[in-house]
Amino acid sequence: MKKFVSFVAASTIIASAASASQITGTGSSFAAPAYKHWSSAYYNATENEVTYTATGSGAGIRSIKKRLVNFGGTDKPLTPKVLRANRLYMFPTLIGSIDLAYNIPGIKDNQLKLSSKAIAGIFDGKIKYWDNAEIVKNNQGLHLPHKAINVCVRSDGSGTTFNFTYYLSKIDSKDFSAHKSFNWKANIIGGKGNQGVTSNIKQNRYSIGYIEYAYKLESGLPAAMIENKEGYWIKPTVKSFQDGAKYASWSKKSDFYALIGDPKGKTSYPIIAATFVLIPAEKIHGDKNVIKFFNWSFKHGDKIIKKLGYVPLPASTKNEIRSYWREKGL
């Protein structure tokens, strides 16, 4: 009898394990902290496992095109034409920001102010030293040394780079255009993923680099106040990200293709971006499990990502995404 009970218990465990889904995703490091926390909470609630690896948006796009994973993460949205050519569907999941974090001895968080002209000059290599007049004029009282600026950038194909260069193209269209990989003219230090850039900023004095806000919070690095489209100095805060995010415009008719960089508004933070998920159009079983995960996260995950510094999607956008899923038979 004991053996029979043990067999039944074992069978129940096996059946339970078999019924639980396991899905895999890879790509955007920008979104990785959010997906990590969402997947942990989802597993605790459902016992369904989601494994996400931060490899960069370029790798996420390549992986889903080859059907190596259940979903790809990218901060560079694909046009409807590209989606159709690769038999993919796409939808946004959350909004985040790109901060200019720095390592200048003696200068604390939000003390450094960077104008649009200064930012473009630093990343184009025209401004080479921290005591350049364009930086100094907006930072009276700060000790900005005559030290070379070490510019920390992504070495991999990156949606963060795409969105940052998109912002740069809005403030300096002559010297910049939006790309996942960019041929920087500044004195650069390359790092893989947001985590690699964060590490390089921490390890190199007199450096500056672009990283997602969750990495800034986790690392404790200071970040600059930035001049926005309206000419106001804006701190990187969840409130200023929300103020900019409200100008985002998505439609299921265009598979939610949209870019948000340099939004209008007096209180808007200027460098914000959405991150997206790519899934195959074959409507395989794995797609439905991916949808279950993100639908659960839309319902229960807002508080989780707010603590990380992300902005959840508005309820209206989530409902349009759900309508999109239904139309696609997911």
The residue ranges of every structural domain in the chain are 23-96+248-260+270-327, 98-245
Inform me whether the pLDDT recorded for 59 exceeds 50. yes
Inform me whether the pLDDT recorded for 274 exceeds 90. yes
pLDDT above 90 covers a percentage of the chain that reads 86
The angle formed by the CA atoms of residues 92, 256 and 279, to the nearest 5 degrees, is 60
Task: Give the mean pLDDT of 109-122.
Answer: 97
Q: How many CA atoms lie within 13 A of 105 on its CB side?
A: 6
CATH number for the segment(s) 23-96+248-260+270-327: 3.40.190.10
DSSP characters for 158-201? -HHHHHHHHHHHHH-TTT----SS----S-EEEESHHHHHHHHH
- The pLDDT of residue 216 is 96
Inform me whether the pLDDT recorded for 7 exceeds 70. no
- The pLDDT of residue 157 is 86
Inform me whether the pLDDT recorded for 286 exceeds 90. no
Task: Give the mean pLDDT of 4-32.
Answer: 59
Token pair listed for 83 = 């989606």
Inform me whether the pLDDT recorded for 108 exceeds 90. yes
- The pLDDT of residue 175 is 94
- The pLDDT of residue 208 is 98
Give all strands of the β-sheet with 233-234 in edge-to-edge order. Answer: 113-114, 225-227, 233-234
Inform me whether the pLDDT recorded for 253 exceeds 70. yes
Fold of 98-245: D-Maltodextrin-Binding Protein; domain 2 (3.40.190)
Cα–Cα dist 158/155, whole Å:
8
Place of tokens 């995703």: 25
Token pair listed for 213 = 């806000």
Domains 23-96+248-260+270-327 and 98-245 share a fold: yes
- The pLDDT of residue 95 is 94
- The pLDDT of residue 236 is 95
Question: For residue 285, what pLDDT band results from cuts at 50, 70 and 90?
Answer: low
Cα–Cα dist 250/256, whole Å:
5
Task: Give the mean pLDDT of 146-175.
Answer: 95
Token pair listed for 86 = 């690769």
Strand extents, DSSP E, 44-195:
49-54, 71-74, 88-103, 113-114, 150-154, 188-191
Task: Give the mean pLDDT of 188-210.
Answer: 97
Phi, psi of 100 (to 5 degrees): -100, 95
- The pLDDT of residue 146 is 98
Token pair listed for 249 = 């415009």
Question: For residue 20, what pLDDT band results from cuts at 50, 70 and 90?
Answer: low
